[in-house]
Amino acid sequence: YFNTTALARLLEREWTKAFKPFGLTPSQAFLLRVVLEKPGLLQSELAAEMAISRSTATRTLDGLQHLKLLQRVATERDGRESAIHPTSQGLAIKDKLNTASGEVTRRLKKELGAAHFDDTVANVKGVRSTLE
């Protein structure tokens, strides 16, 4: 537990630096990247995909909407749902955002050794899905 939370905070600091030029926090940036990759998902689908609660999704989306990087669009078949679509401003930073992410990943891989990095990611992912 202790090692995992410490690592999470350490990574958070890395990614904070990486996304600072965009004026985005790591959680905003990761959420936006999912929206850019899969436009039109419902909020609840996004929350599930990112393994965050619905309330956290609400608040993170509020922030991104306020920055005019995405919009909530009511669906036709169910008045409760909103589908999340990027705005043109959101689309405009897609490539730069992905490049910045790629650079952090590459740097971490280099510092850790690519094999070790991949092993650890696979491990963590596995544990996470096993514990559901």
Partner DNA sequence: ACTATATAGTTGTATAGCGAACTAATGGAG
Partner DNA sequence: CTCCATTAGTTCGCTATACAACTATATAGT
Q: Which residues bind DNA (CB under 7 A)?
A: 5, 9, 13, 25-28, 42-44, 51-63, 72, 77-82
Q: Candidates 37-45, 66-74, 75-83, 119-127 — which segment interacts with a copy of itself by CB under 8 A?
A: 119-127
Task: Determine which residue in the list 21, 23, 102, 126 makes contact with a copy of itself, applying CB under 8 A.
Answer: 126
Q: Phi and psi at residue 71, in whole multiples of 5°?
A: -135, 155
Which segments of 1-132 are extended strands (E)? Answer: 70-74, 82-86
Query: Does residue 54 bind a copy of itself (CB under 8 A)?
Result: no
Residues 75 and 72: their CA atoms lie apart, in Å, by 9
* Partner from DNA, a copy of itself, none contacting 20, C-beta within 5 to 8 A by type: none
Using the 8-state DSSP alphabet, how is residue 76 labeled?
Answer: S
Least gap, CB of 121 to a copy of itself (angstroms): 7
- Please report, as residue ranges, which positions from 97 to 116 form the binding site for a copy of itself (by CB under 8 A): 108, 111-112, 116
Smallest separation (angstroms) from DNA to the CB of 115: 28
Query: In angstroms, rounded to a whole number, what is the distance separating the alpha carbons of residues 27 and 114?
Result: 24
What tokens were used for 66? 């306020």
The answer to whether 67 and 109 have CB atoms below 8 angstroms apart is no
Q: Is 2 in the site for a copy of itself (CB under 8 A)?
A: yes
**Residue 15 sits in the site that holds a copy of itself (CB under 8 A):** yes
Residue 59, interface with a copy of itself (CB under 8 A)? Answer: no
Q: Specify whether the CB–CB gap between 40 and 90 falls below 8 A.
A: no
